[in-house]
Amino acid sequence: MGSSGNGASIDMAKLNDFMGKAVGDMGAAMHAVLILLGDRLGLYKGMADSKPVTSGELAERTRTTERYVREWLNANAASGYVEYDAKTGTYRLPPEQALALAVENSPAFLPGVFQIVSACFHDADKIEDAFRTGKGVGWHEHHHDLFHGTERFFRPGYGANLMASWIPALEGVEAKLRSGAKVADIGCGLGASTILMAKAFPESEFYGFDYHAGSIDLAREAAKSAGIEDRIHFEVASAKSYPGSGYDFVAFFDCLHDMGDPKGAAAYVRSTLKPDGTWMIVEPFAEDATEGNHNPVGRVFYSASTMLCVPASMSQEVGAALGAQAGEGRIREVVTSGGFSRFRRATQTPFNLIFEARP
CATH of the domain at 20: 1.10.10.10
Does residue 92 sit within a domain? yes
Instruction: Establish if 19 belongs to a structural domain.
Output: yes
User: Does any domain span residue 305?
Assistant: yes
Pairing of strands 9-10, 2-3: antiparallel
Are residues 268 and 215 in contact, defined by beta-carbon separation less than 8 angstroms?
no
For the domain that residue 332 is a member of, what is the CATH number?
3.40.50.150
Residues 34 and 179 in one domain: no
Is residue 315 within 8 A of residue 290, CB to CB? The reply is no
Does residue 335 sit in the same domain as residue 220? Answer: yes
Among the three residues 40, 75, 101, which one is the final residue of a domain in this structure? 101
Residues 96 and 171 in one domain: no
Residue 149 counted as domain residue: no
* Domain membership flag for residue 313: yes
Structural domain includes residue 142: no
Number of domains the chain contains = 2
Q: Same domain, yes or no, for 83 and 22?
A: yes
Give the domain extent around 80: 2-101
Task: For the chain, 359 residues long, give each residue's pLDDT as a single digit of tens.
Answer: 555 556 688 999 999 999 999 999 999 999 999 999 999 999 999 999 999 999 999 999 999 999 999 999 999 999 999 999 999 999 999 999 999 999 998 999 999 999 999 999 999 999 999 999 999 999 999 999 999 999 999 999 999 999 999 999 999 999 999 999 999 999 999 999 999 999 999 999 999 999 999 999 999 999 999 999 999 999 999 999 999 999 999 999 999 999 999 999 999 999 999 999 999 999 999 999 999 999 999 999 999 999 999 999 999 999 999 999 999 999 999 999 999 999 999 999 999 999 999 99
Residue 132 lies in a domain: no
On whether residue 125 sits in a domain, the answer given is no
Final residue of a domain: which of 101, 117, 140?
Answer: 101
Pairing between β-strand 342-348 and β-strand 352-358 as defined by DSSP bridges: antiparallel
User: Is 145 exposed, middle or buried (CB count within 10 Å of its CB: 0-12, 13-18, 19+)?
Assistant: buried
339 shares a domain with 207: yes
Exposure string over 84-107, b if 16+ CB within 10 A, otherwise e: eeeeeebbbbeeebbbbbbbeeee
